[in-house]
Amino acid sequence: MNIKVAYDAVMQTGECPLWHPQEQALYWVDIPAFTVHRLDPASGAHRAWKLASEPATLGISDRGGLIVAMRSGFAHLDTGSDDVRLTEIVAAPYDQSITRFNDGHVDPAGRFWVGTIYEPRDKPAAEMYVLEQGKLRKAWSGGMTNSNGSGFSPDQKTMYHADTAAHRVTRLDYDVASGTVDNQRLLHQFSMDKENNYGGRPDGAAVDSEGNYWVAMFEGARIVKLSPQGALLGDIKLPVRCPTMPAFGGPDLKTLYVTSAGARPAPELAQYPLSGKLLAIEMDVAGRAEPSYRSA
C-alpha cells in the first residue's frame, strides 16, 4: 500500500477524521489536547481550534461549520473564524467526572449518533445517544464500556457498532425513518488473548461504497476489512501501532485517512516513529460522502 504522512505533527490521541466534501478539507480532533484540526490537503494549509472541553467526534453542520461532541456536551463550532466560537446545543446527560462522549457518525437522515466511554472501565456502563434537531435522546445503554466503530450501510438498513473493551463488532437493524435500532447481534469477535493471536482491538471505523466495514485495530498496527456478514476480507498493515479511526476522503473519496495515538510508551514510539501522525492511503475502493447534521 502507498502510505504517506498527510500531516506531520504528532497528536496525543488523534481521532475522528472527517472529510468535508464541500470544503475539500479534512477535520479531526486530538482529544487530550482539547483541539479540533483542519487540513486542506491540496495546499497543505492547517488550522486548529483549542476548546475548553475534550472534543471526541465531529459532524458537518447544515448551517456551516461543525457539530462537536465534547465531554461537556454538543456545540456548534464556527469554522469560518480563527477564533473559537462555540454555541452550545445541549449539555452532556452524564457524570462528566467518569464519562465522556466518544465515537460518532451522522446517519443518512441527518441525526448525530454518538456513544460514550465509561472511563473507570469496571463495568459496561457506556451509552449511545442521538442528537436530532437539537434534542438529545438515549438510543440504548449498558452492554458496552467503550462505544466505538459506528457506521451505516449504503442501503440504510444496518448500523455497525464496536465495543473496544470487548474486542467485539456488532450490527443492528436500523430504521432510517424513525431513527431507531434493534436486533443487535455479533458481526465479528476479535481475540482478547494478548499473549497469543492478538491483533489489536476495534476502535473507529468507516463503511465504503461497497458496504464493507473498515475498522482501526488499536494496538494491532492495522486496519481490518470486514464484509457486511462479518467475514475477514483482509487488512492494511500500518506504520503506527495504535490507529484510532479511518475515514474516506479526497476528491474521489479514494483516500483513506487514518488518525493514531502518539502518547505511547517510548519503546513503542521507537518501533513506530510515525505514531500520532495523520496518515493517508490511496485505495482502490471509494468511500461515501458523510451526511450533514440537520439542525431543523
165 DSSP assignment: G
Q: Where are the beta strands (DSSP E) in 193-288?
A: 201-207, 213-218, 222-226, 232-237, 243-249, 255-260, 278-282
Residue 49: beta bridge partners?
Answer: 36
- Enumerate the β-bridge partners of residue 107: none
Q: Helix (H, G, I), strand (E, B), or coil: what is residue 97?
A: coil
Q: Is 203 a catalytic residue?
A: yes
Of the residues 107, 163, 203, 208, only one is catalytic, namely: 203
Rounded to 5, what percent of the chain is helix, strand, coil? 5, 55, 45
Looking from the CA of 136 toward its CB, the CA atoms found within 13 Å total 17
Adjacency order of strands within the sheet including 46-50: 14-20, 25-30, 35-39, 46-50
Q: Which amino acid is at 33?
A: A
Reading the block at residue 249, the C-alpha cell is: 476522503
Q: Are 147 and 102 in contact (CB under 8 A)?
A: yes
Asked if residues 226 and 187 have their Cβ atoms less than 8 Å apart, the reply is yes
β pairing state of 201-207 and 73-77 = unpaired
Question: Which distant-in-sequence residues (6+ apart) come within 8 Å of 265 by Cβ?
Answer: none
Rounded Cα–Cα distance for residues 30 and 15 (Å): 6
Active site residues: 203
